[in-house]
Amino acid sequence: MCSLALFPPPLYSMNNVVCSLKPHSRQESSSKSAFRDHCETLYTRSAGAWRDAGLSGLLNEIANSSAEVPKWLGVSSSCVLALLRWVSSFHSSLFPHLTLSSEEMTAEFSQVLDWSDCAVRGFAWHPHTQKCAVALSDDSIKIYNPKSATTPTLKHRLQRSVAALQWKPLCASALAVACHNCLLVWHVDPTSLSTRPSSGCAQVLSHPGHSPVTSVAWSPNGPLLVSASPRDTALLVWDVAVESCVPLHRVGGGGVTYLSWSPDGSRVLAATPSSLFRVWETRMWTCERWPSLKGRCQSGCWSPDGSRLLFTVQGETVIYALTFTDNPGVPLMMSGGPKAATVVADLSETTLNTPDGDIMVGGEIQSLAWDPRGERLAVHVKGRPAMIAVFKTQISPAFKLLPCGFVQGEAGTEPRLMQFNPNYQHGAQLTVCWSNGKITHVPFCFMSAGNPQPGLGGSPSFPLTQGRPADYNNQTLYTELIS
């Protein structure tokens, strides 16, 4: 069984930061403070309650406004609301996550480690340009572009509890934001010199009962957007241009927590709060269920060609793999049964020898990230302390995993979020958001196995430690047998 024992030890304890952005200030401010309360009519409040919480929110608003509605309407609303709450309590006994508040739910299912206490709650590289968006704990979003001296700050009265960000492919200006009660799609002109774009630049996409939104994903060719909410069993497929959506309902799971669209556009991973996840094929929008898990699917990522899915399960220390044929929804690995995934790596706790003494590495996996070339896999491990393990990967002719090393930050800091830069030309570049609010960029310079580039050297080797075999860098953790 492969393990972290084959990894080289982490580097010596000192500042190994290659490139860092300074911590963001004014973390205590809130977008709410920019808006003043005002009196609203019953109709306006009811419309807002329907938009935010669906039927139960509407009934609750009417029941609490007994002085403004006929007595029979207030009593009827209270009775129906009591019935709905009884049904909801029974449903919550089946799906315990429904007892959480919206903010607790966002923190539970976010890909960000310790989301509630994190200064950086979201990060997204643009797929085609050197531009990134950073969501802060005050619910503002900053856009950084090295070619511009202007740093736009995005704020909106509905932009609360930001859980995820993603730029629209093949578009320079559209940014999707998963918020407390809705989706926001910002359209920010990259040539504008404004540092505070108007809220009119944002499209508001909402659907009754679809909150909080914890994950969003654009189709690789851009026109479609999917969104997920742990309270809504439907996966919503949005046509942003006309602001309409098609709910894809399925029984079981209790909601949808995490989404990942394959790079070839053929499939969408949809995780749920319970011990099953679905893989949707996007031709006919049918899905395949994978229920035989010990816990919920925590994270997942696709190979660049969309043929292989790596995923992790909450509470486990292993990485699973599914391989798909050219026909969407039909897995290759049928020898282990009609529903079988392969374990490709085990990140259980192990002890490594370092110049500073023995350290314990490994533990439960928080998230995965695979670089666009398919040659580096970053694994965010929750352990004590949390750190990032990096694997060398090979997709063809056979899938392989090899140990590469660890990414650590300054003393006393832990990684909270990570993403590969899709526009790095000299190998792979991993962007890491740390617990102290800093953002660092870690380059991995290598010659691509599929497309060698002259003039680029290989990754520097780590110093050998006493008692460790000299060929550890060549020890394969996992190799897929091919016939």
Site of tokens 């520097």: 460
Structural tokens at position 99: 């007892």
At residue 453, the pLDDT reads: 39
Domain span at 76:
38-100
DSSP code of residue 54: H
Bridge partners, 359 (sequence order):
352
Q: Is the pLDDT of residue 11 over 80?
A: no
Q: Is the pLDDT of residue 243 over 60?
A: yes
Q: What are the tens digits of pLDDT across the range 379-429?
A: 999 977 889 999 999 988 888 999 999 998 888 899 999 999 999 988 999
**pTM score, whole prediction:** 0.77
Residue 431 in any domain: the answer is no
pLDDT, greater one: 463 or 54 = 54
Q: What are the tens digits of pLDDT across the range 246-266?
A: 999 988 778 999 999 999 999
At residue 354, the pLDDT reads: 78
Residue 60 in any domain: the answer is yes
CB 258, CB 215: distance < 8 Å: yes
pLDDT, average across residues 149-155: 94
Q: Which amino acid appears at position 217 of this protein?
A: A
SS3 (DSSP) at 10? coil
At residue 213, the pLDDT reads: 96
d(C-alpha 408, C-alpha 13), whole Å = 9
Q: What are the tens digits of pLDDT across the range 117-138?
A: 999 999 999 999 999 999 999 9
CB 152, CB 194: distance < 8 Å: yes
Torsion over CA: 336, 340, 343, 349 (sign) = negative
CB neighbours of 199 closer than 8 A, spacing ≥ 6?
155, 156, 157
Residue 91 in any domain: the answer is yes
Q: What are the tens digits of pLDDT across the range 72-104?
A: 887 888 888 888 776 666 555 556 677 788 899
Residue 44 in any domain: the answer is yes
Residue 420 in any domain: the answer is no
d(C-alpha 100, C-alpha 448), whole Å = 46
Structural tokens at position 25: 């200030």
Q: What are the tens digits of pLDDT across the range 188-202?
A: 998 888 899 999 999
Q: What is the tally of structural domains in the chain?
A: 1
pLDDT, average across residues 146-158: 93
d(C-alpha 178, C-alpha 205), whole Å = 10
End-to-end CA distance of the chain: 22
Residue 417 in any domain: the answer is no
CB 107, CB 121: distance < 8 Å: no
d(C-alpha 250, C-alpha 227), whole Å = 15
Site of tokens 């292993």: 318
Residue 94 in any domain: the answer is yes
CA angle 370, 283, 166 (to 5 degrees): 40
Residue 83 in any domain: the answer is yes
Site of tokens 């930050």: 409
